[in-house]
Structure 1
């Protein structure tokens, strides 16, 4: 007899959906929304705040599920422990929950200003395009993910009619995520090669390394600007300089060794740098 699951089927499905929505990323999006609002001078009404959060988080959840749905065969090589390739949830269930989150995001966005609604609608389309096509196109897919994450800041500031306030922080988020996505491609070369994904590390030797370093160098160059523009306080500047130092050290390591085994470690390091940068954003608006 086969080993029975410790959880009832419906509970296992819900547990899988929760894991597939990347709770750590969802928490990061919540923080970004609050920081973006506070950077414009304060929080909006409870109605606008809740609608923004539901629209952003539902879009993210739906996008993550859709991405995993179309990544099933690649994840059997790169991420076999994820719920879908591990058989803990069916592809049909993933598709249904993705549609539910898409609908919930559109519903919440309908109560936001028109420009914010257009942001959400456009992002939902990009999430679908990324999952079905752009993810396999390499650098264009990296840019799409970086934009989608950065656009949370732009979307949030658009809700209160001050989208300009979100431009520089969004640019920093874009650069951080661009570097992370390229490093993740370096980590995933085996599965990507097997299934024909055209990522930078598979296009030309060392190209991924150079592009990731370029993203990090631009991040360092732009990082003090939010302080000098008065968007964030000196608390931000102090911590972001520490983050910049961590990026310099990461660039040095990457220059010396860009092997697959090292790429796994570099992904962890840049994720730690991104967490620290989020802390700097938070301190900057307190």
Structure 2
């Protein structure tokens, strides 16, 4: 079998493997609390831009196929993330209701929220990328793709516009690990987040940074690669300090390491199971 075909296949399928494991973890635990859906957003927006960049500047076809496969993988993963998201307006306002004395006005307001008043509002009026229905995410992606397509139709003859598409794609993708890093720190737990995803990020970004330096790539590529690898390293550190073994060793039952949402099923779940 052709070696170039094997390398291309690895380039296309390799980045997706970790997300297959993340999908399985969410299905198994029936909770997406440990995975930040902003990761899906970053990959979807970045790869949509990369496809338009490829159309305007025909580079390696393998990268085009990689973008298409990644978009499909993230759409599937996003569906299960939304299905098992760990918070909802009905739960939130149910807790608020039990915390206050009853009044007719308060009861009416809370009842409206509990019955899904917020979820019936248009997706664009809710907090961005924090919606209750999968279709809202699809509508957002369709709107984004339509806008980029129209811009491409009118500006495709300008080389600077094509380069901007590439720069935006690269810039957005460089922030990929950031939401997960912040989410894990706030929860003081990495439970529910796939170690295979982290491994693919850390090893992949390490290889990319080496490749950029070795081939004397433009400084922007090297900086973006260094940023990604640095954030990956921070998540690795989080996996260590937030593990149940380290918490037990440090005697952190009442320390800052325990700060988080203890009602979160993923928070109570033993990290070592994943």
Coarse TM-score class (shorter-chain normalised): 0.3 to 0.5
Higher relative contact order, structure no. (Cα contacts within 8 Å, ≥ 6 residues apart): 2
TM-score by length of 1: 0.32
Q: Which has the higher helix share?
A: 1
